[in-house]
Amino acid sequence: MKAPFIIAVDGPAASGKGTIASRLAAAYDVPMLDSGLLYRAVGVLLGRHGGDFDDVAAATQVARDLTPEMLTDPAFRTREAGEAASRVAVHSPVRLALRDMQQAFAQRPEGAVIDGRDIGTVIAPAAPAKLYVTATPEVRAERRWKQLQAQGESVSYDDILDDIRKRDARDGGRADSPMRPADDAVLLDTTEMTIDQATDAARRIVEAARARWELS
Residues that bind ligand C5P (CB under 6 A): 13, 35-36, 39-40, 82, 85-86, 89, 116-118, 167, 171, 178
DSSP per-residue codes, 111-154: -EEEEESSIIIII-TT-SEEEEEE--HHHHHHHHHHHHHHTT--
Of all residues in the chain, what percent are helix, strand and coil, respectively (each to 5)?
60, 10, 30
Smallest distance from ligand C5P to CB 180, Å:
11
Give the residue at shortest CB distance from ligand C5P: 36
Comparing CB distances to ligand C5P, the nearer of 111 and 116 is: 116
Phi, psi of 194 (to 5 degrees): -75, 170
Comparing CB distances to ligand C5P, the nearer of 29 and 74 is: 74
Smallest distance from ligand C5P to CB 44, Å:
11
- Give dist(CA 142, CA 202) in Å, integer: 21
Comparing CB distances to ligand C5P, the nearer of 127 and 208 is: 127
Smallest distance from ligand C5P to CB 68, Å:
15
Q: Is residue 129 a contact partner of residue 10, using CB atoms and an 8 Å limit?
A: no
CA distance to 36, 89, 172, 202, per residue, from 113 (Å)? 13, 21, 22, 12
Comparing CB distances to ligand C5P, the nearer of 118 and 143 is: 118
Smallest distance from ligand C5P to CB 36, Å:
2
